[in-house]
Structure 1
């Protein structure tokens, strides 16, 4: 078996989902591999019941929590690998499911492409279920672009649309939605205290409070600090509400060449390098895009807390 196996399971209905994922899981358990299932409810409980629950080498995660920000998934896989040295990892991960917003679907597709970059030479088998009856056709095309092998109804075939992972994941190929004219704006300079007060005032007025407000403030502060250190020393912060999200973005003159930046746990011996990592851990979604002027980092924080993770 090659180092990385990355397949998309194209399923229609719960029975096809259970049939395809349980066969994949049981194959891994029989081979003595570490197996983790990360899918959203209600499929998580249905598959747990089908497999008789967790065992020593079989674990479950609620993807609605873990994958709310898809950038958290790759470091979670890495943590599982590090906790089980010498064992192949078999991962069932459903980062895109019906009901996700277009911006989340885009980051899900980029995540799928980056899996091929992050684990190209690592002993991991990954099966990613896609609900063909509930997802937009553009999402299904994205699955074919990011998975070299497709799987449905017990058969496998090579994806003719599979593309170079680095090209598919390029942020520049996925432009951000425009900032609304009603967004509040402030320059980014060395007055980080004033910037935090500005974000707190606008985010509170939009309905964000408690720990989630504190998390957005910390993430915005990290983004602004990156502007001062790496983005030319100045930029522009914009903040607005979009439905049930508060969005805060910082545009500056920086660059980011590493597609996996923010998807690796920071080195504890290193003084810096934690900004993007913290933003991904704190926010429900982080979109990073190059522009003709530099770089834009857009932070999303929902007004409602994320669901509790199933153990």
Structure 2
């Protein structure tokens, strides 16, 4: 018989720290079997090796399990959140939870990317709070860095070990945690190109295009870079900003843009935590443009301090071969 799931109807977020195939299966198999027996949609987004282990353990029930190779289930945090939401929207059944095994990929990521993924793991507690989703995030302690394994207990309220639920004493408020692990700000260098402050979107578009062309972008990549900057500026101006100043500079492998937004009255904009991670829905929403800017950028950070709201985004630059 399936074990009872968590009480309530909102999002439930558990970590699973495992150090062997047997430990992974001890948690994953009951989770999947109970969900399938209850008629719930179940997704396993994990490594190909773990998918194979799980399918063998399930036997004839394996055909009822949805699977995804986790390395391709959202390359960046904004894409990952979108993938979760779209799976739920597509497979949700009235009156039933949706179960997900969602293993993050940590290998090969830069320090900035690791920080972004840690923040996303914490942010899921906010972004998916209203959904009837039970998510387990496995962390393979044989391969993940020690600081990432420790972070699992700060970004999940509890962890599962088989069927045993262990509260995470180190669980942190998502907004506070996101601020704590934010990557260090890379200020604009003295030689950065500048324009504004301006409220004219045509001026923003012209500056974004000039700097992207100077960085070597062309064609579709140029158009998408300009769109990302314009959508970020549009979000700031639509949210109560009166003017936007822009800076741009080149970094290895990227062109960076910094948007500094001011408003009358000397106060920064009220920016919700984890803003711009929800994909657009049927009705227009002020965050839609920022979601698009996140999707088109390699990274996008929003910070508010004092009278300024600062958005920094990085667009992938042309590779060395493209410059030849």
CA distance in 2, matches of 1:117, 1:211: 34
With normalisation by structure 1, the TM-score equals 0.80
Are the counterparts in 2 of residues 11 and 131 from structure 1 also a CA contact under 8 Å? yes
Decide which structure has the larger Cα Rg and report it: 2
CA distance in 2, matches of 1:289, 1:92: 31
CA distance in 1, matches of 2:80, 2:227: 21
Change (3 A) 1:268 1:123: closer
CA distance in 2, matches of 1:21, 1:273: 35
The range that moved more, 2-11 or 212-221, is: 2-11
RMSD of aligned Cα (Å): 3.3
With normalisation by structure 2, the TM-score equals 0.77
CA distance in 1, matches of 2:285, 2:19: 48
Are the counterparts in 2 of residues 220 and 248 from structure 1 also a CA contact under 8 Å? yes
CA distance in 2, matches of 1:214, 1:18: 46
The range that moved more, 200-209 or 48-57, is: 48-57
1:50 alignment counterpart? 53
- Describe the superposition over 1:181-224 as per-residue Cα deviations: whole angstroms up to 9, x where unpaired: 14333225244334333323333443444433322211101112
Are the counterparts in 2 of residues 97 and 131 from structure 1 also a CA contact under 8 Å? no
- Structure 2 unaligned runs (5+)? 1-5, 263-267, 320-324
1:111 alignment counterpart? 120
- Structure 1 unaligned runs (5+)? 306-311
Change (3 A) 1:14 1:206: farther
Partner-residue secondary structure (3-state), 2:259: strand
More relative contact order, 1 or 2 (CA 8 Å, 6+ apart): 1
2:3 alignment counterpart? none
Q: How does 1:173-188 map to 2 (within 5 A)?
A: 174=182, 176-181=184-189, 182-188=191-197
Change (3 A) 1:184 1:258: same
Partner-residue secondary structure (3-state), 1:95: coil
Are the counterparts in 2 of residues 245 and 300 from structure 1 also a CA contact under 8 Å? yes
Aligned residues, how many? 300
Q: How does 1:96-245 map to 2 (within 5 A)?
A: 96-151=105-160, 156-169=165-178, 171=179, 174=182, 176-181=184-189, 182-230=191-239, 232-245=241-254
